[in-house]
Structure 1
Amino acid sequence: MDAALTAIIGQQGVAALYRRSLQLCASAHPRLAGTYDSLQASLDVTALNSVLVEQSEADALFFGQVLLTTFYELLTTLIGPLLTARLLRGVWEPSLSDTPSQENSP
């Protein structure tokens, strides 16, 4: 996401969106506020990974989902839904090597 967005909103813009996403998540989900507080304000994926591996699987999934959804929504308010979807298409789509969880036959 960082690489896709830096060209559009700059490195500082991406970091600001990340920080704001963390703040909004902490205020909306008090049970995870301590987790959010332990992350640095900069866009540090290593620190985020360290926090996630310390959580239970359910909390890590919830934390990641809430953070990514909040980040996506904030970005959409800045640049619009179509450009957001286009820029992040490669991030949200499953890779070609992933097997589908269920195939629908005609």
Structure 2
Amino acid sequence: MDAALTPILGQQGVAALYRRSLHLCAANHPRLAGTYDSVQASLDLTALKSVLVEQSAADALFFGEVLLSTFYQLLTTLIGPSLTARLLRGVWEPSLSDTPSQETSP
């Protein structure tokens, strides 16, 4: 997401969105407050990863989902849903190794 957004928002803009996302996650989900306190407010993904690996699998997954959805929502409020979807299309697309979902309609 950093590579997709930096040309549009700049490095400081992406870092600000990340910091705001972390802050909102901790404010809206008190159980994440400890994780928020452990992660620096800069865009240091190594620090985030080191904190996540210390969590249980369920907590790490929950934090990751909340952080990504919060980041996406903030970006959508700033630049709109259409541009957000276009900029992050490559980030959200499943990898080529993923099994394609099967259509269930008759």
Q: Which category describes the TM-score, using the shorter chain as reference length?
A: over 0.9
Query: Residue 82 of structure 1 aligns with which residue?
Result: 82
- 1:1-106 alignment runs, 5 A limit: 1-100=1-100, 102-104=101-103
Gaps of 5+ in 1: none
Structure 2 distance, partners of 1:32, 1:70, is 13
Q: Alignment length, in residue pairs?
A: 105
Structure 1 distance, partners of 2:54, 2:90, is 28
Gaps of 5+ in 2: none
State the 1:32 CA deviation: 1.1
Structure 1 distance, partners of 2:99, 2:88, is 21
Structure 1 residue runs of 4 or more that deviate by more than 3 Å after TM superposition = none
Residue-by-residue CA offset, 1:12-41 (whole Å, 9 max, x unaligned): 000000000000000000011001111001
What is the TM-score normalised by the length of structure 1? 0.94
State the 1:104 CA deviation: 3.4
Query: Percent sequence identity over matched residues?
Result: 84
Residue-by-residue CA offset, 1:43-78 (whole Å, 9 max, x unaligned): 011011111111111100000000000000000011
SS class of match (1:42): coil
